[in-house]
């Protein structure tokens, strides 16, 4: 089981370092991270196995998780076409993806409102 946590931060130098430091000080290893800039703010997504420690560490640093969701993480081969193959499986199952990013150790993270449908679509790919 893995969780994608969204943290809304000011888009300033050092913002990522502050978040990463708070999380590492709590002893949590980030399995993936991605950041989307929207001007003055940035949306940071992180992948963790246990969100409780991260929420607590961020609260101490006066930061907050703005969204938390369970996601499906798929181990994949590092080769052309893997993401396309998985995306076709999800589409064929009629599941609308809301989140996709690459994690460490050749893994792809998928998020969808229909988590059960997503799991079923990707069953066997994990």
Mean pLDDT confidence for 66-86: 96
Dihedral of alpha carbons 94, 95, 101, 106, sign: negative
Domain 2-69 of CATH type 3.30.2130.10:
yes
φ/ψ (deg, to 5) at 79: -150, 155
pTM of the model: 0.88
Is the pLDDT at 44 greater than 80? The verdict is: yes
pLDDT confidence of residue 110: 94
Q: Which residue has the tokens 């399995």?
A: 31
- The per-residue pLDDT for range 91-122, each reduced to its tens digit, is 999 999 999 999 988 999 999 999 999 999 99
Domain boundary assignment for the chain: 2-69, 71-122
């Amino acid at each position: 089981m893995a969780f994608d946590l969204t943290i809304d931060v000011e888009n300033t130098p050092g913002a990522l370092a502050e978040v990463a430091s708070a999380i590492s000080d709590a002893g949590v290893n980030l399995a993936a991270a991605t950041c989307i800039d929207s001007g003055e703010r940035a949306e940071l997504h992180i992948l963790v196995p246990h969100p409780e420690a991260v929420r607590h560490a961020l609260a101490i640093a006066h930061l907050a998780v703005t969204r938390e969701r369970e996601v499906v993480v798929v181990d994949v081969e590092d080769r052309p076409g893997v993401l396309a193959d998985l995306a076709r499986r999800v589409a064929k199952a009629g599941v609308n993806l809301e989140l996709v990013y690459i994690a460490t150790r050749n893994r792809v993270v998928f998020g969808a409102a229909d988590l059960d449908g997503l799991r079923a679509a990707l069953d066997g790919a994990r």
